[in-house]
Amino acid sequence: MTQLYNKVALIGLGLIAGSMALAMRRAGLAGEIVGHARSAETRATALDIGLVDAVFETAAEAVEGADLVVLCVPVGVMGTVAQEIAPHLAQGATVSDVGSVKKAIIDAVQPHMPDHVHFIPAHPLAGTEHSGPRAGFADLFQNRWCLFTPLPETDRASIERLQKLWSAMGANVEEMDAAHHDLVLAVTSHTPHLIAYTMVGVADDLQRVANKEVIDFSAAGFRDFTRIAASDPTMWRDVFLNNKEATLEILGRFTEELFDLQRAIRRGDGEQLFDHFTRTRAIRRSIIDAGQDTAAPDFGRGPKEGD
Ligand code: NAP
């Protein structure tokens, strides 16, 4: 594969940055990959396990001379990091991010970007409940979507170059408006995470069900909730604080539907329950048909992972 960037600087060296570094290396997409993370420990690990060629104590030093800078830090610190690196960005550099919300990041980052760089917000729809530099793996983005939310005035050639990078890392690329992205993700990711966090919290609070029973007899439904609810607390706090409007809108609808089903159970309305479950089963089928999940009963995890 052809090299697309001479020097890539990854700011934040966790799951997403680590996976990008490994995928870029495997396909020979970058001449040099450097990075910065907040703690000395993460920087040392990233260097040690060969994610990056060099690490720097500050983000400002890391971006010097880079033709691609990717912000891979929690959503809530994107703006601060952007402000710090701004005076050090190379002429013509592309600055991107991988944050899970887009409108709030554009508002926080764009005002700091000098005219001589191209800011291109993006979000790979790929992740696990693990975090940190050791959590990354080269196949994370394989057959997953990477959504771009570029501003209308952004240079097309720079957008297409970055899209080539994501395609070469295995992702399918699509463009959409940032507000639309935030609404779509509120439905497909953010609200489901909140529901999982709630359900696991409820089971934990339920004194009538001994803790041991919840763990020993945890059936597929609850087990899958616990996996989602084990996701990084910093990341998810920032997601909800920064996608407030869309999440509240979807939560409102969720609550109404939940009351509807609750009423159906109370009334013994089997027909309503059956119709509802038939509709949702078809949605599951279409996700599998689109290649976004596996039909295996254990979600294809196998005996090693997740159990
Ligand atoms: P992660 O594994 O927790 O890594 C976050 C990295 O950011 C760590 O290296 C951390 O350094 C660093 N960091 C935190 N605050 C910093 C600061 N103020 N200055 C410099 N570095 C800082 O997180 P991740 O899962 O890769 O997520 C990164 C971004 O990707 C987030 O914006 C998230 O919304 C987005 N995203 C995540 C997923 C997912 O499922 N995980 C999926 C798609 C997009 P230390 O280790 O030193 O603290």
Averaged pLDDT, 137-158:
97
Q: Residues 99, 187: one domain?
A: no
Q: Residues 88, 28: one domain?
A: yes
CATH number at residue 17: 3.40.50.720
Q: Which residues contact 261 (CB under 8 A, 6 or more apart)?
A: 272, 273, 276
Count of domains forming the chain: 2
**Nearest C-alpha neighbor of 46 from the set 72, 80, 85:** 72
State the pTM of this model: 0.92
The pocket around ligand 1, CB under 6 angstroms, is made up of: 12-17, 37-39, 42, 72-75, 77, 81, 98-100, 123-124, 127, 131-132, 135, 232, 235
Q: Residues 161, 257: one domain?
A: no
Query: Helix, strand, or coil here: 287?
Result: helix
Q: Residues 65, 35: one domain?
A: yes
CB 84 within 8 A of CB 58: yes
Domain interval for residue 289: 180-294
Q: Residues 167, 192: one domain?
A: no
Q: Residues 157, 246: one domain?
A: no
100-142 confidence digits (pLDDT tens):
999 999 999 999 999 999 999 999 999 998 999 999 999 999 9
Residue 304 within a domain: no
Q: Residues 199, 66: one domain?
A: no
DSSP state of 93: -
| Distance from residue 31's CA to the centre of ligand 1 (Å) | 23
5-62 confidence digits (pLDDT tens):
999 999 999 999 999 999 999 999 999 999 999 999 999 999 999 999 999 999 999 9
Nearest alpha carbon, ligand 1 atom 23: 14
CATH number at residue 220: 1.10.3660.10
Nearest alpha carbon, ligand 1 atom 40: 127
Q: Residues 113, 141: one domain?
A: yes
Split at pLDDT 50, 70, 90, the class of 207 is: low
Averaged pLDDT, 269-280:
95
Q: Residues 152, 217: one domain?
A: no
